[in-house]
Structure 1
Amino acid sequence: MASMVIRTGRVDLDFGGIRSEFGLPVEFPPAALAEAQQAVGRDVAAGGREDATSLPLVTIDPPGAKDLDQALFVERVGRGFRVHYAIADVGVFVVPGGALDTEVRKRGQTLYLPDGNVPLHPTVLSEGAASLLPDQTRPAVLWTFDCGADGEPRDVRVRRAVVRSTAQFDYESVQASFDAGNPHPSVEALSEFGRLRRERATERGAVELRLPEQEIVPNGDGDWKLVVRPRVDVDSWNAEISLLTGMAAARIMLDAEVGVLRTLPDADDGAVDVLKRSAHALGVPWPDGVTPARLLAGLDPARPESLALFVDATRLLRGAGYTAFDGTIPPVTTHAGLAAPYTHVTAPLRRLVDRFATEVCLAVTAGRDVPDWLRQALPLLPGLMGGSDTLASKVDRACLDQVEAWVLADRVGQEFGAVVLRAEGNGADVFVAQPPVMGRCSGADLPEGERVRVRLTEADPERRKVAFVKVDG
């Protein structure tokens, strides 16, 4: 894992400036906190919930995570698979129209900063009573998928239940267990099922961009370091379970003609043509009849030309949003990146829309009318989520820019190896592997996908700006 530790020893390297700049809330209003505290004492087994505490569910999350939305158990049944996917039941804790509901609508989603989160819900819920922590009985919305040998669902059930996670894992430890040949029994079938789902996704035309994922982590001395977290196979397999659930939820809502979808229009032919020209310029063969999804899935992400093409392929995924509907099917119902209808239902502790979409699915599958409060909320969700997505993106970028500037502040004038990602005008975006930084580089002759030498010309922590220039020769 590539990393670079800040060596200044300063104690003022925090993100208070970013919190102030974006007006991030410091705490919850007293009335919202009071509602959350009241909700903690509720009987989680009330309301005729199914008792699913015997299922050996486990969670897979980043190390140290406490807001655990999902727990899973994948088993082989005959030639096929049965997938149990428990999602934290936030709806049982939040009173529609109450003070807590009002506050979480303002927040939209949990914001993750290196020095602490700005949670969607009070931590007494998100890291406590509603979180699927190990060895704790919790209310959940339980999805069960019976799938054939091809990984496609034949039957889908969703209902309220009580569950009890048996273990909390992180991605790297689960991957290590597969590599060693001794995965936990609850996820032993995940590798085969996950690979099948990835193959189905590629056949549909789903686009996966395996770009380097920068992360900011503490180094244990009060400073920060940048790392590129390697994407292990378990990341992809686990994500496929979430995507399976979101696609099933979208189908339920479309059949009922009421709900909210995560949508992305199909890229036009011009965007695909531009990508083909980029592939040709990068020396990446594109055989006739091969879809963008199949081509991208076959690239080696460690190669510089692959990184450049992944960046160029982002043009295929522009225009994502949320689409609410009630009584009429909207003109765009699919997410082009997934090549299927899709909605968010698997992260309700961290994202507002998931709670509402889940409640629609529960009502429809139980044969009940969608409640009036829910119908009234649906048209508001695209605006609320769009605003919070924009804010989250800006906060994430500001944090990365800040740490990149801190890391490089004492290295102006030094040279680095870099990969050219996207050339525009008299310059290009480049990726420096060590330390893992993405920045703007000026200069001529910066062909995409090429390895070049660059010199750091600016690293300004006050402006959160890093700049390079190409080294000739």
Structure 2
Amino acid sequence: MALAVHTPGAGDFASLRAEFELPEYFPADVLAEAESVAGDPTGNGSREDATDLPFVTVDPPGSKDLDQAVLIEPLARGGFRVQYAIADIAAFVPPGGPVDREARRRGQTLYLPDGNVPLHPPELSEGAASLLPGMVRPSVLWTIDTDAGGEPVSVHVRRALVRSTERFDYETVAAALAAGTAHPSIAALPVLGRLRRELAVHRGAVELQLPEQEIVAGPDGGWILTRRPRPDVEAWNAEISLLTGMVAASIMLEAGVGVLRTLPEADAETVNWLRRSAHALGIDWPRDATVSELLAGLDPRNPASLALYAGTTRLLRGAGYTSFDGGRPSAAAHAGIGGPYAHVTAPIRRLVDRFATEVCLAVTHGRPVPEWVREALGELPELMNASDNRAARVERACLDQVEAWILAEHVGRTFDAVVLRAEENKAEVFLENPPVLGKCSGTGFPDSGRIAVRLTSVDVEKRKVSFERA
């Protein structure tokens, strides 16, 4: 739903790119190496021919850096076989070479409304390494068999050649599923996706259904700020990636070497604070219900639910990366996912996935972990933490900038808003139209609910908007 557009020509994101010192181009030696390996990827050992498997990709519309292709087959004995092909970017990145060094400097692809800042040169990320339809591509192929309840019972990972047959987006897949015309490779996605989401609740995974803002280009060259719903297809598709990441974590933990995405469990005091917040918001929290079970049963359209989701973010602080070599780390779990987890499914867009994947390939085939991987394990947490921090700040700055552009001409206007967090003289609110997240001054804020707020000032250059309770 398009809600507002800033004045055409009011600005682009060049100043923001300069502020965050985002690279504008790849150095000449990086481009030269990318061009030389694009047509002749390294062997990386023998490679299975899996081009007969009818893989498909499911991504946001317009995506070109396609990391994953999937095929889900029901098994006669019950359960499912998940064939998950992941772009083998390592086949195009000589260790220690220019592309490798530049990728370590960048950490991950950054997405801005007017174009991304890629981790790897487009020659690779949108070309030779991307799992584009109809193209034979080197991949790391995961085969995961599950039982009837969706739990993994076996895994096989190896290098393979694959060929995606179709490129879909979430809306296309949702429409096909509704019409009963889904591609056979993903016809079972809803069943397995729902099973995995049920298992996530049982594991204690914490999922917050807070409103998501999205910036899209307007028809006149301006920018539109929308409230982006998360379709079921996207959630189910994400469960396949999470399944693979959890299996990868198990492989590395058993081997005593690797790198995990980790998040510590919230302490009892924080959980008790959340329980008191639920009570204040009028939300019934049964004594025997976990945080995950409570959140899964809330209606995200209810303002009280949104306020509790906002408070629950306190339980998800401290995410990072844990590398280890020589034994299982003391803190190995990701509290938001409900178990150990590793990034292995987006190597085109995220640095750490390439290294974690190489560990899994080595240990499952009884080979030593490559020395270049072992040498990098110690620095990966710092590189990825810095990259994640920058990505979050860039995303927030883009949203703040568009909010300021949109609201600049509306100072003094009153808007409807939902209270997310309330304190004595201020609150964090979410405007419903346009979908703006902001700070509001005033007194007597309710713990949740809808209120009217007045826009008091906008500073476009500083990307600041201010509201007061109307």
TM-score range, shorter chain: over 0.9
Aligned twin of 1:65: 63
Q: Is this contact kept in 1: 2:41–2:91, CA < 8 A? A: no
Aligned twin of 1:384: 383
Structure 2 distance, partners of 1:182, 1:281, is 47
Instruction: Tell whether 2:397 aligns with 1:394.
Output: no
Structure 1 distance, partners of 2:235, 2:252, is 26
Map 1:39-438 onto structure 2 (within 5 A). 39-42=37-40, 47-78=45-76, 79-438=78-437
**Identity fraction in percent:** 63
Aligned twin of 2:26: 28
Q: Deviations over 1:238-291 (max 9, x none)?
A: 110000000000000000000001011100011111111111111111112000
Select between 426-435 and 445-454 the one with higher mean Cα deviation: 445-454
Aligned twin of 2:452: 453
Aligned twin of 2:3: 3
Structure 1 distance, partners of 2:46, 2:330, is 38
Q: Is this contact kept in 1: 2:424–2:443, CA < 8 A? A: no
Q: Is this contact kept in 2: 1:4–1:436, CA < 8 A? A: no
Structure 2 distance, partners of 1:175, 1:205, is 27
Deviation at 1:46, TM superposition (A): 7.5
Q: Deviations over 1:145-173 (max 9, x none)?
A: 11111001111111000111111111111
Deviation at 1:45, TM superposition (A): 7.5
Q: Is this contact kept in 2: 1:45–1:162, CA < 8 A? A: no
Q: Is this contact kept in 2: 1:44–1:162, CA < 8 A? A: no
Q: Deviations over 1:376-421 (max 9, x none)?
A: 1000000000111111111001000000000000001001100000
Instruction: Call closer, same or farther: CA 1:137–1:46 in 2, change over 3 Å.
Output: farther
Select between 174-183 and 188-197 the one with higher mean Cα deviation: 174-183
Q: Is this contact kept in 2: 1:45–1:139, CA < 8 A? A: no
Structure 2 distance, partners of 1:103, 1:335, is 29
Structure 2 distance, partners of 1:36, 1:44, is 12
| One-letter amino acid of the structure 1 residue matched with residue 159 of structure 2 | R
Structure 2 distance, partners of 1:219, 1:425, is 39
| One-letter amino acid of the structure 2 residue matched with residue 117 of structure 1 | N
Instruction: Call closer, same or farther: CA 1:182–1:45 in 2, change over 3 Å.
Output: farther
The alignment of Structure 1 onto Structure 2 pairs a total of residues equal to 469
State the Cα RMSD in Å.
Answer: 1.1
| One-letter amino acid of the structure 2 residue matched with residue 194 of structure 1 | G
Deviation at 1:433, TM superposition (A): 1.2
Q: Equivalent residue of 2:462, what SS?
A: coil
Q: Is this contact kept in 1: 2:256–2:328, CA < 8 A? A: yes
TM-score by length of 2: 0.98
Deviation at 1:331, TM superposition (A): 1.1
TM-score by length of 1: 0.97
Q: Is this contact kept in 2: 1:44–1:139, CA < 8 A? A: no
Q: Is this contact kept in 1: 2:204–2:292, CA < 8 A? A: yes
Q: Deviations over 1:266-317 (max 9, x none)?
A: 0001111111111111111111200000000111111111111111111111
Deviation at 1:220, TM superposition (A): 2.2
Q: Is this contact kept in 1: 2:75–2:81, CA < 8 A? A: yes
Q: Equivalent residue of 2:186, what SS?
A: coil
Deviation at 1:131, TM superposition (A): 0.4
Instruction: Call closer, same or farther: CA 1:28–1:43 in 2, change over 3 Å.
Output: closer
Deviation at 1:48, TM superposition (A): 2.1
| One-letter amino acid of the structure 2 residue matched with residue 153 of structure 1 | P
Q: Deviations over 1:412-442 (max 9, x none)?
A: 1001100000113410100001111000011
Deviation at 1:237, TM superposition (A): 0.5
Q: Equivalent residue of 2:108, what SS?
A: coil
Q: Equivalent residue of 1:410, what SS?
A: helix
Where does the alignment leave 5 or more consecutive residues of structure 1 unmatched?
A: none
Deviation at 1:75, TM superposition (A): 1.3
Q: Is this contact kept in 1: 2:42–2:92, CA < 8 A? A: no
Structure 2 distance, partners of 1:103, 1:392, is 17
Q: Is this contact kept in 1: 2:70–2:83, CA < 8 A? A: yes
Select between 41-50 and 101-110 the one with higher mean Cα deviation: 41-50
Structure 1 distance, partners of 2:182, 2:90, is 33
Deviation at 1:181, TM superposition (A): 2.7
Q: 4+ residue runs of structure 1 moved beyond 4 angstroms?
A: 43-46
Q: Deviations over 1:16-51 (max 9, x none)?
A: 000000111111111111111111111587842111
Q: Equivalent residue of 1:455, what SS?
A: strand
Structure 1 distance, partners of 2:23, 2:466, is 32
Where does the alignment leave 5 or more consecutive residues of structure 2 unmatched?
A: none
Q: Equivalent residue of 2:390, what SS?
A: helix
Select between 412-421 and 445-454 the one with higher mean Cα deviation: 445-454
Q: Is this contact kept in 2: 1:44–1:138, CA < 8 A? A: no
Structure 2 distance, partners of 1:328, 1:284, is 43
Structure 2 distance, partners of 1:3, 1:124, is 36
